[in-house]
């Protein structure tokens, strides 16, 4: 096992001392995000106790969080943080990168995909505030779509239509698994074309452009990215010619119709002047051509030195297994009903795989790592962190 571990590519991001310490941290909080986590975990009071100025997004009107962040920097803020969803995180992260000041991620969103890939504690958002008193820095890449930043991905075609589904915000995984197969098989949206560096992708039904690649086999961005500092976009394109081919791809029987590559830039065009795009889970419309790019090492993220960390990469996602697990999870939440017997086969699949309901409930991405916490190290020396520090089991001495 040791020999195998030595031969495995390093999945850990370097970690650096948090210098200088923030003297005027400014944190934007969305009290509605994640079902009210800001209030549930008393985040405002705890942040202010650590010396942070807090801006709460109150009221029904739309808040320009990027402008709020710019004004805070103009007023002397030397760290920007967000307690909210990935879309809000991305907008403020762009301002932090612009001024090269640290960015604090607080896991107060619904899914917290960006936080997952940073190795943060998604169960206790208040633990993220530890970065203000005992933190470390990670240098990560930022994705760009037009002049807008993204921390996870930009999606086109059938993927973008999933994001626009009303149920998506409340149940991203379940909605994707339910609607994507039908959208792929019967997609009649704008005909797309993409140029990934010098590679042409013609007429994909679905196109996903991520800030760093997702794990092998993850065709919808439901899993996690091994690292966030590779300096490339992960590109996944689905091009199928028949319902049978689409069904085979989604059931994991073969990879025909799936194209996976990396690029520094991706330019997407369509048959209309504007096309729907999903940016970090937010549905928007953009004029063509749409240009996506990567900004290597643009963002300095300040994280707690004591945090769960990122586990070693796991085997490829099985799309068919994800669908079975999601179906069983939804049936279990709804309680037994007249159609629950139809889910017995998926349940047997999940039991044979050793997963079952607990795996689904523990992590909507189905890729959660084993528990552990990153332990501290004397400051002043760059070390492997996030995933790069030494990890010990919770409760170990």
pLDDT at 248: 65
Reduced to 3 states (helix: H, G, I; strand: E, B; else coil), residue 63 is: coil
Return the structure tokens found at 116: 């997952």
Place of tokens 């807090």: 54
Torsion of Cα atoms, 43 then 44 then 47 then 53, to 10° = 150
pLDDT at 333: 55
Reduced to 3 states (helix: H, G, I; strand: E, B; else coil), residue 358 is: helix
Give the number of other Cβ atoms within 10 Å of residue 192's Cβ: 26
Annotate 304-322 with b (16+ C-beta within 10 A) or e (fewer): bbbbbbbbebeeebbbebb
d(CA 231, CA 137): 17
124-to-79, 129, 137 alpha-carbon distances in Å: 21, 10, 20
pLDDT at 216: 61
d(CA 260, CA 393): 35
pLDDT at 154: 95
The answer to whether residues 194 and 229 touch, using CB atoms and an 8 Å cutoff, is no
Torsion of Cα atoms, 29 then 31 then 33 then 34, to 10° = 110
pLDDT at 31: 96
pLDDT digits (tens, 9 = 90+) for 66-84: 999 999 999 999 999 999 9
Q: What is the pTM of this model?
A: 0.76
pLDDT at 224: 80
Radius of gyration of the chain (CA): 21
pLDDT at 281: 82
pLDDT at 345: 38
The answer to whether residues 266 and 194 touch, using CB atoms and an 8 Å cutoff, is yes
Q: Give the residue ranges of the chain where pLDDT is below 50.
A: 1-8, 337-397
């Amino acid at each position: 096992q040791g020999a195998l571990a030595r031969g495995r590519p390093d999945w850990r991001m370097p970690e650096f001392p948090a210098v200088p310490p923030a003297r005027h941290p400014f944190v934007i909080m969305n009290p509605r995000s994640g079902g009210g986590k800001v209030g549930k975990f008393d985040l405002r009071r705890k942040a202010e106790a650590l010396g942070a100025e807090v801006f709460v997004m109150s009221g029904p009107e739309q808040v320009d969080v990027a402008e709020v962040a710019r004004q805070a920097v103009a007023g002397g803020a030397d760290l920007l943080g967000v307690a909210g969803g990935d879309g809000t995180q991305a907008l403020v992260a762009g301002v932090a990168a612009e001024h090269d000041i640290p960015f604090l991620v607080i896991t107060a969103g619904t899914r917290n995909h960006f936080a997952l890939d940073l190795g943060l504690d998604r169960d206790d958002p208040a633990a993220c505030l530890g970065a203000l008193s005992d933190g470390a820095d990670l240098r990560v890449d930022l994705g760009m779509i037009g002049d807008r930043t993204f921390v996870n991905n930009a999606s086109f075609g059938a993927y973008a239509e999933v994001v626009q589904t009303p149920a998506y915000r409340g149940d991203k995984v379940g909605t994707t698994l339910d609607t994507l197969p039908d959208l792929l098989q019967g997609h009649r949206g704008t005909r797309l074309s993409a140029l990934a560096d010098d590679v042409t992708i013609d007429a994909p039904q679905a196109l996903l452009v991520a800030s760093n690649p997702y794990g092998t086999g993850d065709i919808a961005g439901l899993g996690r990215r091994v690292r966030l500092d590779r300096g490339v976009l992960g590109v996944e394109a689905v091009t199928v010619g028949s319902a049978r081919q689409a069904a085979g791809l989604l059931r994991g029987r073969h990879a025909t119709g799936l194209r996976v590559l990396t690029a520094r830039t991706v330019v997407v065009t369509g048959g209309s002047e504007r096309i729907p795009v999903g940016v970090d889970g937010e549905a928007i419309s953009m004029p063509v051509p749409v240009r996506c790019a990567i900004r290597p090492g643009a963002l300095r993220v300040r994280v707690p030195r004591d945090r769960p960390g990122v586990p070693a990469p796991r085997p490829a996602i099985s799309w068919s297994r994800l669908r079975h697990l999601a179906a069983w999870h939804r049936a279990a939440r709804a309680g037994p009903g007249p159609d629950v017997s139809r889910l017995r086969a998926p349940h047997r699949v999940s039991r044979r795989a050793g997963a079952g309901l607990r795996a689904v409930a523990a992590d909507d991405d189905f890729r959660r790592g084993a528990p552990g916490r990153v332990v501290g190290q004397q400051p002043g020396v760059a070390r492997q962190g996030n995933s790069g520090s030494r990890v010990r089991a919770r409760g170990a001495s």
